[in-house]
Structure 1
Amino acid sequence: MTSPTTTEVSTERPPARLGVAAIVFLIIAASAPLTVIAGGSTSAFSVTHVLGVPFGFLVLAVALGVFAIGYSAMSRFITNAGAFYAYVAQGIGRPAGVGAAILAFISYNAMQVGIWGMFGFQVSEFVAAKTGATIPWWIWVLVGIAAVGLMGANRIDLSVKVVAVLVAAEFLVVIVFDLVAFANPTEGFSADPITPSALFVPGVGAVLAFGVAAFMGFESGAIYSEEARDARRTVPRATFLAVAVIGLFYAVSSWALALAVGPDTITSPDGIAPEDAGPPLFFNFVAQHLGEIGVDLMSVLFITSLLAALISFHNAVARYAFSLGREGVLPKQLAVLRNGGAPWAGSLLQTIIAAVIVLGFVLVEPAWDVDQGPYPVITLFTWLTNLGAFGLVLLMAVASVAVIGYFRRDPRDVGVGSRVVAPVIGCIALLVIWVLILLNWDVLLGQPAGAPVTWVLPAIVLVPSLLAVGWGFWMRTARPDVYRRIGHGAEGPSAHHLGEVAEGETTTLSL
């Protein structure tokens, strides 16, 4: 008896499994609360010396919340694992949609791969401190990549359960830190960190550029829309809930951090010693007030916080690859689901990309000057996560324009505030933040002004995305059957049979 040699691609959907809570956990996991407080906020204070970092989180939460109004309105009518890609394709045009797809694919990959740098370094340092064993950071990364890839290749339920436990633990330990910091302020209690006057000073641009990276992932709810129960309600609720929780939690926790460090210490150019800059600001306070056990617990949960973010971004990339493969923009072999509806091929592709980029950084490491700091953190983590934030902020600004274009043809039952006013305000706010990131590249990367990396990194995102727009126009005449499906997912023209995929079993493909 011979087994089938082809796989038919169809649009039948597997049972929807995700509710509001599950999507919120995936969104918050991508934002990595403990990582943001122990790593992002401490770095923002250390580099900018601006006390208003906590108020900056509130400003960003409001700006992104306004963006989410139009974004969520559109999510009621478009259900697609490609999310931004589909929104731009249907709101602006298919060529722009292809450009947005490549922009999203590069940006999400950059965020995911970049986080591996911090993960590998933290695990290596923790193991060395506790056992004396010196194991290269990249060994831990490759082990982690394999584990995350295995979860990504299985049904989403597994990832959600792991992420839920990790995120709950993160919230718990950060709340403990907050309570201790508010009870033991280093320089006395002060409400100054949450006032506008503390933020709107020289350096505000760098603060907002640092801060926006902490929110990246909040927009990913729509990526899971094809797996959500009652997506028209679930996705908007999860998005608004996530941005509200993230914004308030980060504001309060970074306020606690400011009190732990001391307002005068933060605002003084010489207040924070170089060896104490960044995460040590957090862990030194923990050691002083919670002892070695507290530090060990926080260190372990810092690592698991990174792992939760890695799982979340991995799933996002896998679904983008699936969506693009399903519509024929990328090879249709990527549109393969197995193990209860997991985008197996997309997960495998992301795993390979992560491993190849990490190994590329490993090959260059011998030339690194150790006096510049830990190699995987300064390069892999800092460069790629900022690159991902840069691309995703631009993507959200373009998506705001797409909302206006989509409802211009047919307002449906959406009010003018949701389909015009909010997208316009959101687009302007996001473009301002995007320009601030661009103007502060040297600060964010810790590089001299004009250093090659400060213009090479933006080009990695922008050039392929612009070329992809041209590719979209080419497909309009050269591959009209594929062009018609761009951005329309399982409901697009001729989507029922996208062709045959060489596999050994018949698999129904769709999210």
Structure 2
Amino acid sequence: MTSHTDSSPAPSPSRLHGNLGTGSIAFMVIAAAAPLTVIGGNAPLSIGQGNGAGAPVGFLLASVVLLLFSVGFVTMTPFVKEAGAFFSYVTVGLGSRLGMGTAYVALVAYTAIQAGIYGYMGWAMMDLVHTLGGPEIHWAVYALVSLLIVGVLGYRHIELSSKVLGVALVLELTVMMVVNVAVLVNGGPEGRSLTSFDPQTFLTPGLGVAVLFALTGFIGFESTAIYRDEARQPARTIPRDTYLAVGIIGVFYTLSVWVLVVASGPSQVRAVAKETLFGGKNMMLDTAGQFAGSLTRDVMQVLLITSLFACVLSFHNIVARYQFALARIGSMPAALGRVHPKHASPARSSFVQSITATILVIMFVIIGLDPLVQVFGFMAGVATVGMVLMMLLTTIAVLVFFSRHPKLRSNVFKTLIIPALAVVALGIAAWLVLSNFTMVTSGSAAVSTVLAIVPGVALAIGAIVNRKDGGRTVDINLDRVDAAREDPE
């Protein structure tokens, strides 16, 4: 049976279309993870506040959790024909109410992390200009200029964004790998030590904290499914990109964090990380300068800005497409579900997302929040809780879906056993996030508690929103199951 419905969707005023291949989508997903930002920010937190030299194993374990999740996510993909990622999967598996609740969690989580990154970017640009001897300009000015550029790119066709993100990502991965190679060639003060992978080193009480900060570095990896309508061959591209994104991000994180340990020496790395957290040092940049030269350090500092830009552009595209998908099923204003006649983009949804982000940035300025510690810290906390909650609901949806439809269980390991393991792993991850939440937000217990319940409130609100299609998405997809199995394209 041959069908080209998904691979070559006809242009429609209510449906996105495109020709994105594996590389284009993978670039956007990995860019959302902002590898250079994670190594510069999350890694010192994992080392200094977590299990010290054993932090690389925390990133490795987080990668394993994501891979376990990805198995069920990918296996269910042929039976979920709607774009929308997590909420589409939850709708098919658990019904429209929890599906809509998941959609609202996604909107809140990704809007929060996008707003938080604008704060981080504003701070980083302000710091760079100051370092170069430039004028003192408020961080919000840099944030709003970045927001304007992101808005223009988001308004246009997705392939333009994918090209920008691809260039930014290649540059940041390249400069970090230059540093990694330089450290491994020269060795650190204690040689090329493998102490990080010794159970006596990583099996300490701080391992959970390391896993926690590693998980925050994967936010946005599920966006492979959001680009379904714009993918060249979605049934092949989405699974391939999901595994590719998790694999590349996981290996890169684990390797680069281990290199930071080698560069400082396992016995001294915790102290070095704490100097980054509390003493005004920069572990990543200092390592680059010491082992790869001052030019590499300067280039890396600039690429940190492009990393943040690539990250915020990715999240802008994600939120715009979530709003677009919700508008198509009648849960948001219909105008947000219209495709631009020239750019074939969710232009109106993108514009609304730009306005939302602008309002949030202005609110942060009026309140007087610190752009890094409070704006980024608070918003990253909300996004982390939201991500783990969405992944947990999605994995439960996979289990329920294949339990209800035993004829679809072509492989019991992929459809039941591994997803069940993923539920356990994600349950542990949720406990780690909530029990160490003040470390993520850097806020008081009261503020952290309020931030932690925001995704739960969004879930509840979404669950009571009336879907105009009455769950029609589920029926359509179950009717198309046989066709999907015969011809995944």
State TM-score, norm by structure 2.
0.90
Which one-letter code corresponds to 1:334 in the other structure?
L
How far apart are the structure 1 equivalents of 2:373 and 2:216? 16
- Give the aligned partner of residue 318 of structure 1: 320
Of 396, 419, 426 in structure 2, the residue corresponding to residue 423 of structure 1 is 419
> Structure 1 residue 385: deviation in Å?
1.5
The answer on 1:452 being equivalent to 2:478 is no
CA contact (8 A) 1:79 1:222 kept: no
CA contact (8 A) 1:49 1:266 kept: no
The answer on 1:240 being equivalent to 2:243 is yes
CA contact (8 A) 2:82 2:88 kept: yes
- Give the aligned partner of residue 157 of structure 2: 155
Of 257, 260, 264 in structure 2, the residue corresponding to residue 261 of structure 1 is 264
Which one-letter code corresponds to 1:467 in the other structure?
I
How far apart are the structure 2 equivalents of 1:330 and 1:488? 21
How far apart are the structure 1 equivalents of 2:306 and 2:229? 28
CA contact (8 A) 1:153 1:342 kept: yes
How far apart are the structure 2 equivalents of 1:203 and 1:187? 22
Q: 1:488 to 1:346 in 2, by over 3 A?
A: farther
> Structure 1 residue 414: deviation in Å?
3.2
Structure 1 portions without partners, runs of 5+: 1-8, 369-374, 493-511
> Structure 1 residue 378: deviation in Å?
0.1
The answer on 1:409 being equivalent to 2:404 is yes
Of 326, 330, 346 in structure 1, the residue corresponding to residue 332 of structure 2 is 330
How far apart are the structure 2 equivalents of 1:292 and 1:174? 14
Which one-letter code corresponds to 2:381 in the other structure?
N
CA contact (8 A) 2:273 2:283 kept: no
- Give the aligned partner of residue 44 of structure 2: 42
Of 376, 387, 390 in structure 1, the residue corresponding to residue 385 of structure 2 is 390
Alignment of 1:53-202 (within 5 A): 53-182=55-184, 183-202=186-205
- Give the aligned partner of residue 505 of structure 1: none
Q: Secondary structure at the match of 2:339?
A: coil
Alignment of 1:266-345 (within 5 A): 266-267=269-270, 272-273=274-275, 280-338=282-340, 339-345=342-348
Q: 1:220 to 1:390 in 2, by over 3 A?
A: same
The answer on 1:206 being equivalent to 2:209 is yes
- Give the aligned partner of residue 4 of structure 1: none
How far apart are the structure 2 equivalents of 1:363 and 1:10? 42
The answer on 1:218 being equivalent to 2:221 is yes
How far apart are the structure 2 equivalents of 1:361 and 1:488? 43
How far apart are the structure 1 equivalents of 2:353 and 2:432? 30
Q: 1:347 to 1:162 in 2, by over 3 A?
A: same
How far apart are the structure 1 equivalents of 2:102 and 2:301? 37
Of 422, 434, 459 in structure 2, the residue corresponding to residue 465 of structure 1 is 459
CA contact (8 A) 1:46 1:278 kept: no
CA contact (8 A) 2:323 2:349 kept: yes
Which one-letter code corresponds to 1:229 in the other structure?
R
- Give the aligned partner of residue 499 of structure 1: none
> Structure 1 residue 262: deviation in Å?
2.2
Q: 1:83 to 1:271 in 2, by over 3 A?
A: closer
Q: 1:490 to 1:118 in 2, by over 3 A?
A: farther
> Structure 1 residue 455: deviation in Å?
0.4
RMSD: 2.3
The answer on 1:362 being equivalent to 2:349 is no
Bigger shift: residues 332-341 or 156-165? 332-341
How far apart are the structure 2 equivalents of 1:305 and 1:274? 19
How far apart are the structure 1 equivalents of 2:356 and 2:14? 29
Q: 1:96 to 1:164 in 2, by over 3 A?
A: same
- Give the aligned partner of residue 7 of structure 2: none
How far apart are the structure 2 equivalents of 1:485 and 1:328? 11
Bigger shift: residues 49-58 or 117-126? 49-58
How far apart are the structure 2 equivalents of 1:114 and 1:14? 28
How far apart are the structure 2 equivalents of 1:211 and 1:229? 31
Structure 1, residues 330-389: CA drift from partner, whole Å, max 9, x if none? Answer: 111110211332111211121112111111111121xx6xxxxxx211011111112212
Bigger shift: residues 390-399 or 12-21? 12-21
Structure 1, residues 245-299: CA drift from partner, whole Å, max 9, x if none? Answer: 111111111100111222112346x984366658711122223334432222011
Of 358, 375, 384 in structure 2, the residue corresponding to residue 380 of structure 1 is 375
CA contact (8 A) 2:44 2:274 kept: no
Structure 1, residues 482-510: CA drift from partner, whole Å, max 9, x if none? Answer: 32446789999xxxxxxxxxxxxxxxxxx
State TM-score, norm by structure 1.
0.86
> Structure 1 residue 13: deviation in Å?
4.7
- Give the aligned partner of residue 16 of structure 1: 18
Which one-letter code corresponds to 1:452 in the other structure?
A
How many residue pairs end up in the alignment? 467
Structure 1, residues 10-51: CA drift from partner, whole Å, max 9, x if none? Answer: 677554311111111011001111111112112221222522
- Give the aligned partner of residue 53 of structure 2: 51
CA contact (8 A) 2:51 2:209 kept: no
How far apart are the structure 2 equivalents of 1:403 and 1:271? 40
> Structure 1 residue 394: deviation in Å?
1.0
The answer on 1:400 being equivalent to 2:395 is yes
- Give the aligned partner of residue 483 of structure 2: none
Tell me the percent identity. Answer: 34
> Structure 1 residue 241: deviation in Å?
1.0
How far apart are the structure 1 equivalents of 2:50 and 2:264? 14
How far apart are the structure 1 equivalents of 2:128 and 2:335? 40
Q: Secondary structure at the match of 1:264?
A: coil
Structure 1, residues 400-454: CA drift from partner, whole Å, max 9, x if none? Answer: 0111222233242631111111211111111110110000012222345xx2111
How far apart are the structure 1 equivalents of 2:192 and 2:45? 22
Bigger shift: residues 225-234 or 404-413? 404-413
